[in-house]
């Protein structure tokens, strides 16, 4: 008898229907093909004394092999433009799910069906016995799909459905790719798309009833067009209970899954289901906007209150309107930014799932094909090369760098994470924004994953501050001024005893560098992104509010230095509180802008160059790193390496070099840079 036995306990569906499953001796189960064990390449394998190998990132996938006495449905090849449909047979309650699977040409007359949009849920549940039974064999499904099909099933008649987990052979990568190309048609030609949010809970019924109440009873998409005043129904008050219930509903996993984007956008008619409650997508989306308008009808007299979890619903809804009403698609690289918040079980699906919505990529071009047989690195490198061919190399570099990129290439943004990419290139400064790089022809190409690009080496980092800074919200820092003191102290050390090549005084540099020469107070990126998706009623409220703050902009240009320098951080915080309210507001806006600028780098440090210029760079910048500008680049870049091997550390702010000044500098060298990692 062994001294110990290795058991993996897997907890899943903890927010909806908690389960735990135990895998006893998983390596033996893997050897018997009862499960597959997938060890991510980034996980280190450790060995415990007298024990088996343990992997912290262990991922168990149920085997497609049939259990004793079980016959699995056998998939056969599909012809071009052919799909499978599930004819779900009548049943009720806990009756087994039964059906027939048919093949149909999607364009053929009489091909009538409903498509299902849902969250796949934990793959572990596919090994717990949930299946759809057919005469040809069983199809294992997840708990989430089992719940959705039971909700859709009729007690008296058959219904025809297209469900990806059943209608696509998930073990055939070629079939998955071919079906992906016709996804837009599958959802566009469906009679309707059933959007399954999951079972009802204690608040979802309140949320759905509230949405039905505030949504117009119409299927006319024009009713959801942005603009105009809040509808009459918004004059009703939204209770705190209803407000919280709606926000809770919007936090469900469905809203953040990348595949549901095109499923909703292409749907001719979307029907949302949560438990037994239903509402059309158009009515839901209009209700969402009406509820927010109602809640904020008294802004700015009262605080603006937005639904914290509504961003995903707004982005999806506005994308649907843009496509369905205006016929406008969006370039793929911009879609990757727009839907960066989404999640996918397979990382490459963060890219593949958006191909059908792209205006510049069909998905059939050699560099932009969906390929489930390639590694993630291979897919990302291929798509990045395609974007370089499109002439968008700078759009890659702005949002890349070693602290933002995939680990295997510093010049490619991380498209598989959930962080929305940020960039200094959109910072509003000077008269017309930054334009650091000279106007010249871009020379850039990719070969074997190496980006080759010509640029100018304008300077070298000579000193880096010891302190690392992260983006912050002044509202959270106003009482404890330690963060602000550290920013000023760190920059002061670099400026002390050095004469600036720009001719500005110590105080001027201390004031302007932390805000990146901003020409006005900057809102945080999150708020700006949120407002971009809201309609005119909300955004006009904000525009009115900021218009009324014209005095603040005037003071920014005339009083900023006096006000900011009037508070010494070694003094009591009461000195700030003693300022006139107008000056407190200006002081707060200054430090909010500092926090926003630092946040663009994720983590940042101050640095000084051999030429004596001072700026802000990613915290990974080091002594000896080069500063480059590229043709037409808005900002400079910090680059590490030499010869034929370079890494991109990221974009930077170099005070005195952001508006084309480097064209007149002596000793600037043009080089070919090879980003090979």
Predicted pLDDT at 138: 93
Predicted pLDDT at 185: 94
Question: Which residues, in sequence order, are CB contacts of 214 under 8 Å at separation 6+?
Answer: 233, 234, 236, 238, 286, 287, 290, 291, 294
Do the strands 277-280 and 405-406 form a parallel or antiparallel pair, or are they unpaired?
unpaired
| CA distance linking residue 455 with residue 279, whole number of Å | 55
| CA distance linking residue 534 with residue 344, whole number of Å | 25
Mind listing the pLDDT tens digit for each residue in 16-27? 556 677 777 776
Question: Which residues, in sequence order, are CB contacts of 263 under 8 Å at separation 6+?
Answer: 115, 117, 183, 187, 193, 195
Q: What is the largest CA-CA distance in the chain?
A: 86
| CA distance linking residue 589 with residue 610, whole number of Å | 33
Predicted pLDDT at 217: 64
Predicted pLDDT at 48: 33
Residues of the chain with pLDDT under 50: 31, 33, 36, 38-65, 219-235, 477-479, 547-551
Predicted pLDDT at 214: 87
pTM: 0.82
| CA distance linking residue 498 with residue 557, whole number of Å | 26
Predicted pLDDT at 117: 96
Instruction: Provide the edge-to-edge strand list for the sheet that holds 159-162.
Output: 137-140, 131-134, 97-105, 82-88, 159-162, 114-117, 192-198, 270-274, 277-280
Domain segments of the chain as ranges: 7-62, 82-190, 424-675
| CA distance linking residue 636 with residue 457, whole number of Å | 10
Predicted pLDDT at 456: 95
Predicted pLDDT at 256: 93
Predicted pLDDT at 175: 93
Question: Which residues, in sequence order, are CB contacts of 28 under 8 Å at separation 6+?
Answer: none
């Amino acid at each position: 008898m062994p001294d110990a036995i290795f058991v993996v306990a897997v907890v899943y569906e903890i927010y909806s229907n908690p389960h735990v499953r135990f895998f006893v001796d998983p390596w033996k189960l893997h050897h018997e093909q009862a499960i597959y064990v997938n060890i991510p390449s980034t996980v280190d394998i450790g060995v415990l004394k007298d024990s088996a190998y343990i992997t912290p990132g262990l991922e168990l996938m149920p085997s497609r092999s049939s259990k004793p006495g079980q016959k699995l449905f056998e998939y056969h090849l599909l012809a071009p433009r052919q799909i499978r449909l599930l004819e779900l047979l009548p049943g009720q309650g806990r009756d087994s799910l039964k059906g027939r699977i048919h093949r149909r040409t999607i364009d053929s007359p009489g091909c009538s069906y409903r498509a299902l949009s849902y969250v796949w849920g934990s793959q572990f549940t596919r090994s717990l016995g949930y299946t759809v039974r057919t005469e040809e064999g069983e199809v294992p499904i997840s708990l989430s799909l089992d719940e959705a099909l039971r909700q859709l099933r009729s007690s008296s008649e058959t219904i025809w459905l297209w469900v990806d987990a059943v209608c696509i052979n998930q073990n055939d990568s070629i079939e998955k790719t071919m079906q992906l190309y016709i996804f837009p048609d599958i959802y566009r030609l469906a009679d309707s798309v059933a959007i399954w949010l999951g079972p009802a809970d204690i608040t979802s019924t309140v949320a759905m009833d509230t949405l039905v109440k505030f949504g117009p009873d119409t299927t006319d998409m024009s009713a959801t067009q942005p603009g105009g005043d809040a509808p009459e129904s918004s004059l009703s008050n939204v209770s705190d209970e209803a407000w919280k219930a709606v926000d809770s509903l919007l936090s469900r996993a469905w809203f953040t899954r990348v595949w549901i984007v095109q499923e909703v956008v292409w749907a001719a008619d979307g029907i949302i289901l949560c438990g037994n409650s239903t509402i059309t997508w158009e009515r839901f989306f209009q209700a969402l906007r009406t509820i927010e308008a109602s809640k904020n009808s008294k802004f700015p007299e009262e605080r603006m209150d937005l639904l914290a979890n509504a961003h995903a619903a707004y982005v999806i809804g506005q994308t649907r309107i843009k496509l369905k009403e205006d016929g406008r698609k969006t370039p793929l690289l911009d879609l990757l930014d727009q839907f960066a918040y989404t999640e996918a079980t397979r990382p490459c699906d963060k890219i593949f799932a958006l191909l059908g919505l792209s205006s510049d990529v069909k998905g059939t071009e050699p560099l932009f094909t969906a390929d489930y047989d390639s590694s993630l690195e291979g897919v990302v490198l291929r798509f990045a090369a395609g974007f370089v061919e499109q002439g968008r190399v700078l759009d890659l570099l702005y949002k890349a760098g070693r602290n933002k990129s995939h680990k295997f290439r510093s010049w490619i943004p991380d498209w598989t994470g959930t962080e929305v990419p940020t960039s200094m290139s959109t910072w509003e400064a000077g008269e017309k924004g930054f334009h650091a790089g000279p106007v010249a022809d871009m020379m850039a190409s990719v070969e074997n994953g190496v980006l080759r690009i010509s640029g100018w080496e304008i300077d070298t980092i000579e000193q880096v501050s010891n302190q690392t800074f992260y983006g912050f919200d002044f509202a959270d820092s106003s009482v404890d001024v330690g963060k602000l003191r550290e920013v000023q102290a760190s920059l002061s050390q670099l400026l002390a005893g050095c004469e600036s090549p720009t001719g500005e005084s110590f105080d001027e540099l201390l004031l302007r560098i932390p805000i990146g020469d901003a020409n006005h107070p900057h809102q945080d990126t999150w708020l700006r992104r949120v407002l971009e998706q809201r309609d005119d009623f909300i955004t006009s409220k904000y525009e009115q509010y900021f218009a009324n703050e014209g005095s603040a902009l005037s003071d920014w240009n005339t009083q900023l230095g006096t006000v900011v320098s009037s508070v010494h951080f070694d003094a009591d915080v009461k000195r700030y509180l003693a300022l006139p309210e107008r000056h407190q507001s200006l002081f707060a806006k200054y430090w909010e802008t500092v926090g926003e600028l630092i946040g663009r780098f994720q983590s940042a440090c101050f640095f000084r160059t051999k030429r004596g210029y001072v700026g802000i760079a990613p915290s990974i910048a080091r002594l000896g790193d080069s500063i480059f500008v590229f043709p037409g680049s808005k900002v400079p870049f910090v680059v590490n390496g030499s010869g034929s091997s370079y890494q991109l550390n990221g974009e930077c702010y170099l005070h005195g070099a952001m508006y084309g000044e480097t064209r007149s500098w002596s000793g600037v060298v043009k080089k070919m840079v090879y980003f090979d990692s």
